[in-house]
Amino acid sequence: MDIIDMQHEHKVKYFNGGGSSSWDFCGYAGCPGAKVPGHDLCYLHLPAEQRRDYLHAVHKQKYPLELSGLTITGPEFSAIMAAMPVKEKSPYERFPIMPHTSCRGTLFPDKINAHQVIWNGHVDFTNAQFAEELLIQDGTFNELVDFSGAKLASINASHCKFKDLKIEMSTIEGSFNLSTSEISSSCSIAGSKMGSLYMRSAVLKCPLNLQGATTGSGASGHFDLTSAKITGGLNCIDARFPVSTAFGSPYRESEPSEVTGLIDFRGATFGDQGKGRCVFAHMELKSADFSDSIFHGRVTFSNITMTGRCELQNIRHEYDLNQDSQSVKQFKPTLFDGFQFKNVSFDEAIELKNWKSSGEVQLNSITSDKAIEVLDADIKHLSLQNVGCLSFSGLGSFSTMNLSRCKFSNGGQVRSGVSEFNIEQCSSSAPFTIAPLSFEGKPSILALNGTDLNNFIFSGLDLRRARIETAANVDKVAIQGPILMHIPPVLRSRRAVLLGEIAYRSETVGRRSWRKRASADVLPIPSASELQASYRALRKAQEDRKDEPGSADFYYGEMEMRRLASTKPSSEWIILTLYWLVSGYGLRAWRSLMILIIILTGSSVLIHRFGLINPVELADAFLFSIQNSLSINNAKLSSSLNAVGSWIQVVQRVCAPAFIALALLALRGRVKR
């Protein structure tokens, strides 16, 4: 048994196995808080006999170990533990058994090694100060462990078993390691400041309280909750997390993290100054609230099952393109640049309301039987990939929006400020509207590759860069309101032109005026037949909606592509060329009227010079031509016509009604209701 020597008033020696250690228990005058039970004085001021009895009582676990307000070095604390009884598991495994221990306000100037210790009573380190590491790993704590208000360099509490752990309003300059530890009753780290917090594979049979806690500073620090099991909720209200934060591992071989109660991140901040790496991966969650949270840098929600409600209101996301944090760079190849939901299953509706993000927000491989709503948002880039949901609503300001391989069973709508859309391989079983948020600008469609346009409604959009010929069911699309499309070069008939036609004419026809409007992004270049089919489908879509004037430009484009696709100089090409020349395919009244005027003028001159037996004035000849075109008989001049004049009269009676009919047809196409 250890021998306790009380011969000196201010020196106490513990002898254990030939070794010894001594120290002065009077940390400062009066030793406040270090009163012996049953007495009003510090044990140093008691008579020697009473001091001996007290320390023996501590050894026998009858009294608590009172070390409050003292200065104790690491070797001295080791000597105290050496004086305590032990539990032997083997000749090489001896676990000291500590009683109720009070170290309130105690100063520990160097490293404290207290690993593999059994703490039977309450452990009170309130307002204590640890200048170096506190090592308590593999310990067993049967009562409350309280570090409230303490200042520590770092704590290694891995592989421990706690009943109650309380570290509130404390400061830990380095890391706090709770990996693989078990906590059975309560755990609160509220309001504390830590350099890093590691809870990998920890098992908490109670809620975890991190409200107001701060982990990391600037570009430093780590937070790791990978593979942790938490029975109850996770309270992270107003907490701050470092640039490297992991609530789950991105690797499939890792055990999933589980939280059975509400995860509350209201007002929490992740990362700093646009830099960060936050991963929520392989987690099974009941419900979560991220309202009013701020995310910096890269954020990934991956392989998560959400069985309850997920609140995502008023999120702000800041992303710095020049991320230079070393803790971020080492993970760069495996991370997404922005805010990402990937392989997440939601049983409830997803509502992203009042979001602000300077980077990209991506919903990837999301499944939900309910709606996905992005409302009142200000997001630079919004991307939906492999999303299947009841409906989708996007309302706000988006610089770009990508919809790729999405299916909406009940339709939806997107109303956005000035933005760019890429819509690839998407479909909707009900009306899906894309329209501007206001009249100030027109959202631009960039891609429609493989998209089934059935049930899509384009209203007030910019289609100048859209590859419409790459979409499916173009004849089912509904185009409403003023649509902005390309127009032909100067001196050509004004109409709506597809981007594919510009590329085709630039490469095939080779006109310089068309090449100026060409875009290098149009690859592969469509053929005239493909463009003809696209124009025909757009025309049919407008005609099905009883929009005859709106279909006129698409009919013109269809006929142009049909003419260019014809073999020269086939009969079809000749007919179509003449049809285009004299009437603009029955859509340009001015051409028919102009040719009619030319014919009447020329025939009047010919009649005046060569067609009359008795010459008359040119004005009379012109009047005769007009009357002849309208089938009004002028007996005086008709009887004066010679053979040449008679043939001219026949030409006038055939051509004039035809051109008048073409002009009327063109006017009807423009004004038909």
Using one digit for the tens of pLDDT, what is the confidence trace for 351-373?
A: 888 888 888 888 988 888 889 99
What residues contact residue 65 under an 8 Å CB cut-off, 6+ apart? 58, 80, 98, 99, 100, 101, 102
Pairwise CA distance, residues 196 & 173, whole Å = 8
Q: What is the mean pLDDT of residues 239-259?
A: 84
Residue 12: pLDDT above 60?
Answer: no
Query: To which residue do tokens 């592969």 refer?
Result: 524
Residue 23: pLDDT above 50?
Answer: no
pLDDT in tens, 123-177: 999 999 999 999 999 999 999 999 999 999 999 999 999 999 999 999 999 999 9
pLDDT, residue 109, reads 95
pLDDT confidence bin for 335, thresholds 50/70/90: very low
pLDDT in tens, 512-548: 777 777 665 677 888 899 999 999 999 999 888 888 7
pLDDT, residue 479, reads 87
Whether residue 569 is preceded by a cis peptide bond, meaning omega within 30 degrees of 0, is yes
Q: Is 12 or 559 the better-scoring residue by pLDDT?
A: 559
What residues contact residue 429 under an 8 Å CB cut-off, 6+ apart? 407, 408, 409, 410, 411, 455
Share of the chain above pLDDT 90, in %: 34
pLDDT, residue 483, reads 79
Whether residue 524 is preceded by a cis peptide bond, meaning omega within 30 degrees of 0, is yes
Asked if residues 625 and 604 have their Cβ atoms less than 8 Å apart, the reply is yes
pLDDT, residue 59, reads 64
Q: What's this model's pTM, rounded to 2 decimal places? A: 0.75
pLDDT in tens, 586-628: 888 888 889 888 988 988 888 888 888 877 788 888 888 888 8
**Phi and psi dihedrals of 537, rounded to 5?**
-65, -40
SS3 per-residue string spanning 561-621: HHHHHCCCCCHHHHHHHHHHHHHCCCCCHHHHHHHHHHHHHHHHHHHHHHHECCCCCHHHH
Q: What is the mean pLDDT of residues 444-467?
A: 90
Share of the chain above pLDDT 70, in %: 84
**Can you read off the two tokens belonging to residue 120?**
């039977």
Residue 418: pLDDT above 70?
Answer: yes
**Phi and psi dihedrals of 485, rounded to 5?**
-135, 170
pLDDT, residue 341, reads 87
Q: What is the average pLDDT score of the chain? A: 82
**Identity of the highest mean pLDDT range in 274-278, 391-395, 465-469, 630-634:** 391-395
pLDDT in tens, 195-246: 999 999 999 999 999 999 999 987 789 999 998 999 989 999 999 999 999 9
pLDDT, residue 143, reads 93
- Worst-scoring range by mean pLDDT, 41-55, 79-93, 309-323? 41-55
pLDDT, residue 645, reads 84
- CA 396 to mean position of chain CA atoms: 14
pLDDT, residue 338, reads 80
Q: Given 3-state DSSP classes, what are the helix, strand and coil percentages for the chain, each rounded to the nearest 5?
A: 25, 35, 40
Residue 28: pLDDT above 60?
Answer: no
Asked if residues 396 and 375 have their Cβ atoms less than 8 Å apart, the reply is yes
Q: Is 187 or 62 the better-scoring residue by pLDDT?
A: 187
